[in-house]
Amino acid sequence: MQTNPLAVSVSQTMTVIWLIVMVVAVVGYLLWQRWRRANPVPKPKPEPIRSYSQTLQQRLASHSHSNKRKRRRGPPPSDGPHSR
């Protein structure tokens, strides 16, 4: 059984391309890791612990400033189905 020389050159080309892709992936990963170490993600600041009365004051104050009118049901119209 003889190997076709064309198949050998194609397989060598595919191997070289695969190795280039792997090298680029490893170098990119290492550069990304180095960049992440140089630029760490900042940790969020914890909220200060408040007493119950402080949180209640804040909740009540936030509701009092809303500009929503309370919906009131008025009397039914006089010509409605329940009028006498």
Domain total for the chain?
1
Instruction: Say how many Å lie between the first and final Cα of the chain, rounded.
Output: 106
Tell whether 25 is covered by a domain: yes
Q: What confidence tens digit (pLDDT) does each residue in 27-78 have? A: 999 999 999 999 988 888 888 888 999 889 988 888 765 566 666 677 766 7
With beta carbons less than 8 A apart as the criterion, state whether 82 and 76 touch: yes
pLDDT at 9 over 90: no
Tell whether 75 is covered by a domain: no
Enclosing domain of residue 21: 1-40
pTM: 0.46
Task: Round to whole Å and give the CA distance between 4 and 12.
Answer: 13
Tell whether 55 is covered by a domain: no
Tell whether 76 is covered by a domain: no
Tell whether 82 is covered by a domain: no
Tell whether 80 is covered by a domain: no
